[in-house]
Amino acid sequence: MRIFTLLLLLCVSTFSLAQEGDNDAQAQLTEMIFNDPASPRQGASKPALIIVNFTDYNCPYCKQFDPMLEKIVHDYPQVQLVVKLLPFRGESSMTSARVALTTWRQQPDQFWALHQRLMAKKGTHDDASILSAQQKTQTAEIKMDEQSRESVNMNLILSQVLGIQGTPATIVGDQMVAGAIAYNDLEALVKEQLAKVNAQ
């Protein structure tokens, strides 16, 4: 818990300083959002654009939106997707998030198969459905640990800092998208943000 307490103090102080225009604090907050190694990621290793998606395995809108994000990463090789798991919908949201984050740390090659399986379930997860997803992705031996709880708690703090009240919530460049949007709208936003990057 000491690590989590330190992260909590860092995040709170960073946000306070960032509001006052402190460049170092803003850089630290940006690092926590975009470059935390505990957050699963896929796509470009040196991205022109990073998309950060706050999501929940029990959220029906997240389940609809997640394949669109993966399609964007596939279609735009200069984009990287970062996943921040937020357990907003009960205990099984927390359990599935912790199992997934432990998998990312211990067996990263298996994470996306598990992630897709967890997203594919209709309705709310329970212990049996989480275990079934693990069994089908050869990750059943992975047991969630305390580090995974700290990672989820860090995501919850970041969601408060950013004013996120529901999932999905997605950062695309300098835009925050609340909720699930149509693929055409998402793609248009990605093109717009990539054009900004290329114009710099």
Q: What's the pLDDT tens digit per position in 56-101? A: 999 999 999 999 999 999 999 999 999 999 998 889 999 999 999 9
Residue of 32, 33, 39 whose CA lies nearest to 6:
32
How far is the C-alpha of 156 from the C-alpha of 175, rounded, in Å?
A: 20
Task: Tell me what the pLDDT averaged over the chain comes to.
Answer: 88
Joined tokens for residue 92? 């099984």
Tell me, what's the pLDDT at 11? 53
pLDDT of 3 strictly over 80: no
pLDDT in tens, 132-173: 999 999 999 998 888 898 899 889 988 888 889 999 999 999
Tell me, what's the pLDDT at 62? 97
Residue of 44, 125, 133, 109 whose CA lies nearest to 82:
44
pLDDT of 111 strictly over 70: yes
Tell me, what's the pLDDT at 109? 95
Tell me, what's the pLDDT at 21? 53
Q: Which domains does the chain have, with CATH numbers?
A: 1-35 (no CATH), 40-199 (3.40.30.10)
Joined tokens for residue 200? 């710099």
How far is the C-alpha of 182 from the C-alpha of 69, rounded, in Å?
A: 11
Lookup result for tokens 């997803």: 133
Instruction: Judge whether 82 and 50 are in contact, CB under 8 Å.
Output: yes
How far is the C-alpha of 63 from the C-alpha of 108, rounded, in Å?
A: 21
Hey, what amino acid is at 28? Q
Tell me, what's the pLDDT at 17? 46
Alpha helices in 35-124 (DSSP H): 60-75, 91-106, 108-120
pLDDT in tens, 16-51: 544 555 566 677 778 889 999 999 999 999 999 999
pLDDT of 178 strictly over 50: yes
Hey, what amino acid is at 118? L
Q: For the residues 125-137, what does the mean pLDDT come to?
A: 95
pLDDT of 2 strictly over 50: no
Beta strands at 79-85 and 41-43: parallel, antiparallel or unpaired = antiparallel
Tell me, what's the pLDDT at 90? 84
pTM of the model: 0.87
How far is the C-alpha of 33 from the C-alpha of 157, rounded, in Å?
A: 11
Q: How far is CA 66 from CA 19, 71, 76, 95, 199, in A?
A: 31, 9, 16, 19, 29
Tell me, what's the pLDDT at 7? 52
Lookup result for tokens 């969630």: 144
